[in-house]
Amino acid sequence: MSKNILVTGGAGYIGSHTCKALAARGFTPVTYDSMVYGHEWAVKWGPLVRGDIADRVALDAVFEEYNPAGVIHFAAFIAVGESVQDPAKYYRNNSVGTLTLLEAMRDHGVKPIVFSSTAAMYGMPQAVPIVESHPQWPINPYGWSKFMVERMLEDFGRAYGTRHCALRYFNAAGADPDGEIGEAHDPETHLIPLVLQAARNPEKPITVFGTDYDTPDGTCIRDYIHVNDLADAHIRALDYLADNSSAAINLGTGTGNSVQEIIEASRSVTGVDIQPQFGPRREGDPSRLVADRTLAKQKLGWEPQFTDITETIGHAWNWMQSQA
């Protein structure tokens, strides 16, 4: 059996950490990335094939050359705000592009796919922590583009025998503890790197949107999951699909940290007295988003190893400092 695993979007943040984890488990990660947002320096553990998931000819070539045993699919645009302003970009890439990938898998006889899904599937939570059976009603085109992929995966499974594990994760955070790779989005939209950037450049302070939420300190609470824990879960999901039917599984720590707690922990890590600005609430921001991770433990045997937010922020800070 081939030890090659096709990793779409493998030159990105979570994709590159998963490639490192795959290599450590004896697989050869074949990164397939358009490099629109990916980084060549992040591809260290296997070949890089430049290509778009919407390009069927290029996909056919990579399937024929590497004969992968499975696919881990990260390739997607992820900026929620941009998806509202330019939904066509998100539906074409995230939804239609994935359809092209699934057709290529079908035609080349590749059955298992681990899909990078999102907690944005759930929209405004009716109950926290959020379980997988929570109603799915996204509130932005990004969430809907992922919702459509999960529907496609279910239908392809029934019709063509594709097996999938859709991993709905919450807020990815941190960086490789070894310092080999880390987060480098442009523009950056994630809270922790934005707070750390403010520590490095106090002239560009972080803005806290809303201080009157129904939380202990009035700021939003989110479930921050270390990127290495995410990478581990993707490989466990690939193993799971060898002997089990398809599933959709939350990935989170099961606890949350408020924006103010993230800022305070970042002060501790950096030694900088980070002073945020305060702004009004953003439309569509729930007060709490926290995962119920029971199913991940039951089906994948997965539990997060990095549960101290200060440690996670420390890894992100070390990476950022190394790039200065």
| Catalytic positions, written as ranges | 142
Q: Whole-angstrom Cα distance, residue 156 to residue 162?
A: 6
Nearest to 278 by CA among 190, 218, 192: 218
CB 97 within 8 A of CB 9: no
Preceding peptide of 129 cis, ω within 30°: yes
The one-letter amino acid code at 100 reads: T
- Token pair listed for 314: 């420390």
Tokens representing 13?
């943040």
Rounded distance between C-alpha atoms, residue 20 and residue 42, angstroms: 10
Strand, coil or helix: 249: strand
Determine the 3-state secondary structure of 79 from DSSP. Answer: coil
**105 membership: H or E segment, kind and range:** helix 97-107
| Cα torsion through 35, 36, 39, 45, rounded to 10 | -30
Q: Are 24 and 257 in contact (CB under 8 A)?
A: no
